[in-house]
Structure 1
Amino acid sequence: MTKTGYKILSGCLCAALICTITGASVHAENGALHAPQDTKAASAAAEERASKEETVYVIAGADGKQQSVIVSDWLKNPNKETSLQDVSDLTDIENVKGDETWTANGTSLTWDAQGNDIYYQGKSETELPVTMNISYQLDGKDIAPAELAGKSGKVTIRFDYENHCTTTVTVDGKEETLYVPFAALTGMLLDNERFTNIEVTNGRVVNDGSHTVVVGIAFPGLQDDLNIERDTLELPDYVEVSADVTDFALDTTLTLATNSVFSALQDSDFETVDDLKASFAKLTDAMQQLLDGSSELYEGLETLLEKSQTLVDGVGTLNNGAAALKTGAGSLNAGAAELATGMQTLNGGLSTLSGQSAALNAGAQQVFQSLLAAATTQINAAGLSIPQLTIGNYAEVLNGALASLDQTAVYEQAYQTALAKVTAAVNAQEATIRAAVTAAVQQNVTEQVTAAVREQVTAKVLAAMGLTPETYAAGIADGTISEEQQAQIEAAINAQMASDDVQALISQQVAAQMASADIAALIDQQTAAQIQTLIDQNMNSPEVQDQITAALEQASSGAASISALKSQLDGYYQFYAGLQAYTGGVDSAAAGAAKLQNGAASLQNGASSLYAGASRLADGTATLSSGASALIDGVTALRDGAMQLSDGLKQLNEEGFQKLVDAMDGDVEPLLERARALAGISGDYQTYSGLDAAMDGSVKFIYRTEAIG
C-alpha cells in the first residue's frame, strides 16, 4: 500500500479519535476479543450493567516524569443496587461524594451503595501504560527546564510518549505482540507577549490575539501495531513545539491519553473499502479521459493553426479537435460531479466534528469543576472554611482567603482568641482573687483600727497615773521615768488591749469599716487590678506567645499553598478559555466547508455548461469556412488556452488524483486485520486499578506538568 493510501487511513483514524475524545466524559483485563452485539436485547442488557468510569491523574514534573498518581473512580449504579462489587488495588481510598462505606477483602471491595452511584479516589504506584518525557532546547542546545526560566531565544519543547502496555493476539493466523492503542492529546496555552512564530509538529496552533493554544496528538506504538514502514508513512509518536521566546515562562501543560479511539471501532466491520476502491477506479477512468481529451484538443488546434491557410483541408482537423474537446469536456463534467460528491462528504465530516465542540467544551469544564471540587475539599480539610469553588467565583474566594491570612489580620485574630481564653480562665478564679484581696484589706483595716484603739488605751492608762502622752514622752526623754516604770506602763496597756472589751471594740470597728461603701469600692478596685495583672502575665507567658507565633506560621504556610493553587487554577482557566477559542475555530472551519461545497456545486454546473458549449462548438465548426484570417487569430488564442488546460490537468492528475488512486493499488486486508485486532484489545483494556467481572469499564489518563518560571 502506498504512502498516500496510509495517509488516507490515518486521517480517518484521527477523525475518529477527535470524535471519540470530544464525546468522552472527564471524570475519573486482558482477555479474548469481543464480537459485536447488534441485537436490541444485548444493548438493553449492556445498559443495565453496572460500570466503572476511571480517570487517572498523573502529577508530573516539568520534564514529564511521574511524581504521584491519583485515581478517581465513578461506579455507576443504573439499577439502584444496595450493594456494588468492585475490584481496586488503590491505597488511601476515600469516598469523595457521599457517606457510603465499604469493606475490603484483599483487592475486592464491597460498597454499601444504598442505591447510589459511588465516587471515590485513591493513590496508586502501578506502572502507567503510557509514560511521557519532555525535553527542552534553547538555540539548538539541550537545557534543563529549571534553567530555561527567564531565558530568551529559539526554544523547542518536545513531548515523547512511550507505550508500555502490550498483549499477544492472533493476527492473520500468526501470534503477535501488539501495543494497546493509545492516543495522546497534549495542550498548552502560550502568552503572545512571550512566544512568537509558534510552530507545532503533529498538531495545531490557534491564536486568539493575546494567547495561543497549541494542541498536539500522537499515537505511541501504533507504527509497530499497523506494521507500517516509516519511509512509507510515519505515524506520530511525539509532539514538538518551537517558538521565538522572550523571558521564558510556561504554565502547566495537560495531556489526555485514551484508548477509546479503537475501542469505539469494535462495532465497525471495515466493509467500505471495496466501495472506496470502486470510487477511485471511476475517478481513474474519468481523469484519463479528461487528459486524453485535453491533449487531443491541443494537438487538433495546433494542426488547425498550421494549416489555416488551406482552410478547406483543415476543417476536417478542426472538426476532429472539436469532437475531442466535447469528449474531454464530458470527462471534466463527470470529474466535477465526483468532486462535488467529495466536497459533500468533507462538509459532512467537518459538520460532525463541529457538532462535537460542545461535548469537548463540556469535558474541559468537567475537568475544571473536578479540580475546583478537589481544591475546595483540601482547603476546608486544612481548617480554612470557604464556599464551594466554581469557575465564576474561585478567583474571588481564593483572594478573600489570602486576605484573611494576612499577617496583621492573623495576629489580631490569634491575639484576640488567646486573650478571650486567658480572660475566661482568670475570670473563673474571680471569687478566689476577691477573697484574697478582701483578706488583705481586712488585715490592713484591722491594723489601722488596732493602732487607733491602742492610742486611746495608752491615753487612759497614762491619765490614771497623772500623765499625758506628751509628759510621758518627755519623762522618757529626760530620764525621770525609768525603764522599769516604762515596762509597767507598757504591760498595763497590753493588758487593756488584750481585754475582751477592747478586742470587741476593735472587732466592732473593723466590721463597721469593712461594711462601708469606701472599703467595698476599694476591694472591687483591687480585685479588678489583680485580675488584669494576671491576664497580662498570662498573655506575656511563653506558652501563649508560642501559640500566637504558631498561628502566624500556619497562616503564612497556608497563604503560600493557596497562592500556588490559585496560580495553577489560573493556568487551567487560560487553557479552558483557549479550548473554547479552538472549538470556535472548528465551527468556523465547518462553516467554510459548507461554502466550499457550494463552490464545488457551482463548478459542477460550470463543467456541465462547458460540455454543452463544446457540443455546440462541434456542431458549428462548418461555419469556420468563412473569415479564415479571423479564425487564425482565434485559433491561436484557443491553442494557448488548450495548452494551459492540458498542462494543468496533467499536474492535477500527477500530483493529486493519481497519487490518491495509486494508494488503492495495494492490498489493505492485512492492515484491516490489524485494525480489527487493535479494536479488540483496546476494548479489553477497561481499567487501570481493577474491574469486577460483572462491570463494564472505561479509563483515561490526564497528565499535568508543573509550571516553569
Structure 2
Amino acid sequence: MKKYSRVLAGILAVLLSAGCTGLYAAAQSDSSSAADSTASTTKNESDKKDTKDTKKADKSDSDTEKQAKEETVYVITDASGNKTKTVVSNWLKNPQGVKKLEDVSNLTDIENVKTDEGFTANGDKLTWDTEGGDIYYKGYTDKALPVDVKVTYTLDGKEIKPEDLAGKSGKLTVRYDYTNNDKKTVKINGKKTDIYVPYLMATTAILDTNVYSNVEVTNGKLISDGSRQILIGVAMPGLTKSLDLQDNEDIEIPEYVEFTADVKDFESTTSLTVATSDIFSKLDLSDIGDADDLQDKLDELSDATDELVDGTAELYAGIKKLSDSSGTLITGIDKLYSGSKSLDDGAKTLNSGATKLRDGAKTLDSSTGELMRGISTAHSGSTALLGGFDQVNSGMSTLKNGSSSLSSGLSQVSSGAQQVNNGAASLAAGTNKLVTGVGDLQAGSKNLAAGTKQTYDGSTALKKGVATLNAGVSTLYEKVQTLPASVELLSNGVTKVDNALTQSIAYDQQVLAGLEQLLGNYEEGSAEYTSISNMIAAVNGSIQYQQGAQSGLGDVSTGVGTMATEGKQLVDGVTQIYNGLNDKKKGLVAGVDNLNTGLKTVNEGASALKTGIGTLAKSSKDLNNGAATLSAGTKNLSAGVNSAQAGASKLDKGVDSLNTGVSKLSNGAKTLDSGLGQLDNGSKQLKDGTATLYSSLVELAQGTTTLSSGSAELFSGIGQLKDGSSQLSSGVKKLESGAKTLKDGMAKYKDEGIGKLLDIYNNDLKGLIDRLDALKTAAEDSTTFSGAADGVESSVKYIYETAAIEKADE
C-alpha cells in the first residue's frame, strides 16, 4: 500500500477548494447563459465611447505589464452533455497601447464584440488594428475538446432519457461523468509514462426546493440560501492514472459527480461545468519541493540527527569525566579545610598573647610614671638641702668673724637647721615613694617578661599555621585548574545537543505546518482527514519528544551554566587565595620573624630594665638611709645650737667641728643632688620608652585581633566550600545519570524516527514528487485552445452549459 497518500490528499484538497471559488457566484444567477451573454454583446456607441475613453487610463496603469491573451471556451450541450456548439471568447490585453496587435487563432466567423477595430489575417495569424486599447472578440470552432462531459439520469432505479423526465416524480439520480482526452507521454525516472493534463472539473446546478428534497451529493457540496439549493461538485478525470494510484485503497480521486433527490413534478435549470488546468500550473509545490531538494533536506536531517547522537555521547563523556574529577576536588578541599583550622587556632593564640603583652606594658608605663614623680620630688628636696647648707656656711663665717653676732648667727643657724630638717623630711618622703615606685616597676617588669613569652609562643604557632595553610592552598590550586576544562567540555556538548535539537524541531514544525494547512480542507471523519490527523499526531509526538529532551537539556544547560559560574568563582577564589598567600607569605613569615626579633629585643630590654631596677632599688635604699642620717644630723645640729646658746665657751670648738661636718655634708648633698638630677632625666626617658612600648603593643594587639577575625572567616568560608563540594558531587552524579538517559534516547530516536522517515521517502515519496512535477509541467503547457502569438502569456478555461429540462406547455 502506498505511504504518501497524506501528501497527495493535501494537494487534492487545495485543488478542490480553488475549483469551487467563483462557481458559487455563477450558480447564483439563473438568467441567460454566459455564452449567450457574450454572443449577444452589442456594439452600441456608448460602449464604444466608454471603451475609448478608458484606453489611456488603462494604459497608464499597465505600463509594466506584458501583452496577454485570456480565452474562455463556451461549450453548449444538450441535457445529456452532447456538444451542440462551441463559442470561444478572447480578450487580448494591450497594456503598452500598441497600434498593431499580433494574435494567432484557428476560429471561424471572428467578430469584434466591443469596438469597430478590424484585423487582417494571414492563415491563422491575425493583426488587429487598435487605438491603443484592448481587443475583445469571439469565434466558433469544431475542434475536439480536451474533456467531454456526459450526463445520465436514473428515476426509481431505471435510466431515463431527459426529454422523458420532465414532470415526473420519484427517486432521481443524476450523474456527471468526465472523460479526459488530453493525454501526453513523458519520462519519469527514465521511463516513458502516459499522463493526462490535470483538468479540474467543477459542476454547479440550482435545485429548486419546490422540486428537489432530501438531496445527497457524491464528490461535492450542497449550499442552501433558503429557497434554492446550490450543488457544487468537483472531479479530476485521469489524475488517478497519472499518479499511478489505481491500486491505492487509501486515496480515491473523484472521476465523476453525482446527486440523488426526491423529485416532484420534475424540471431543471441549466447546469454549468467549468474545466481548467490553470490551477495546477500555478500550484505552489514549494512546500513539498522537488525530489533533489527533499533529498537534500532529508540528508540534512539525517546529518543533524547523527550530530545530535554524537553530541549526546560527548555530553555523557564530559559529565562522566567531571564526575570522576569531583572526588579529587573534594580531597583537596578537605586538606584546605584542615590547614585553615590550624591557621585559625594559631591566630587566636597569637591574639591572646599580644593582648596580655599590651596589658603588661600598660602596667609598666603606669609604674614608670609614679617612679618618675618620686625621683622628681627627691631631686627637689636635695636642691633645697643644698640651699640650707649654703646658709649654714654663711652662718659659720659670721660666727667665726665675731661673737657679737653670735645670737643672730645662732638664730640663723637654728633657722637653717629647721630648713635642713624640713628638707630631710621631704627627702625621706621622696625616698619612701622611690622605694614604692621601684617595687611597682619590678612587678611591671615581671608582667612584661610573662607577656613577651606568651606573644613569642603565639608567633611560633602562627608560623606553623602559615606553613600548613600554604601547603593546603597549593594542593587546592593544583586540583581546581582542571575544573574549567571539564566544565567547558560539558558546555560544548550541551550546545551541540541543543543546536541539533533546535534544527530537528524546525524541520518537523515545517512538516507540521503543511499538514495542518491540508487538514482544514477535509471534513472530520473522512479518510483523508483521519490519515492526515494520524501523520500530524506522529509529527507532534516527535516534536514533543524533542522539545521535552530540549527542555531537560535546558535544565542541564542551566546547571552547567551555574556550574561554570560557580566553578569559575571557585577557581578565581582559590587562585586569589593562592596568589595572595604567595604574595603575602614572605611578608607574613617576615612579619612573624620581625615580631620574634622585636620580642627578643623586648626581652633583652626587660632584662636590662630588671637589672637597672635592681640597681635603682639598691640606690633608693642607700638614699633612704642617707636621708635618715641627715634627719638625725639636723636634730643633733639643733641640740648643738641650743648648747652653743647655753654655753659660749664651747662655741669656738663646736663651730670648728660643725664647719668640718657641714662641709662634708654639703659635698655629699651636692653629689646626691647631681645623682638625683641624672635619675630624674633617666626616669623621664624611661617613661617615654614605656609609653612608646605600650602604644606599639596596642597596635600589635589590634593587628592580631584582625588576623584572628580574618582567619575565622577564612575557616568558615572553607567550611561552606567543603559542604558545597559534597552537593556538587551529588549533583554531578545526577547529571551523569540524566546524560546517559538522553544519549540512549537519541540513539533510539535516530533508529526509530529518522530512519523510518528516510525509508518512506526512498520507497514512495520520490516517485510521487516526480509525477506531480510532470503534471504541473503539462498544465503549464496547456494554456490555449484556439492559439496564441509567440511571447504572449495565455490562459484558458472551459465552461460547459448543459441544457435545462423543461415541462411542455399545457
Q: TM-score range by the shorter chain?
A: 0.3 to 0.5
Bigger radius of gyration: 2
Greater relative CO, 1 or 2 (CA 8 Å, sep 6+): 1
Between Structure 1 and Structure 2, which shows a larger proportion of helix residues?
2
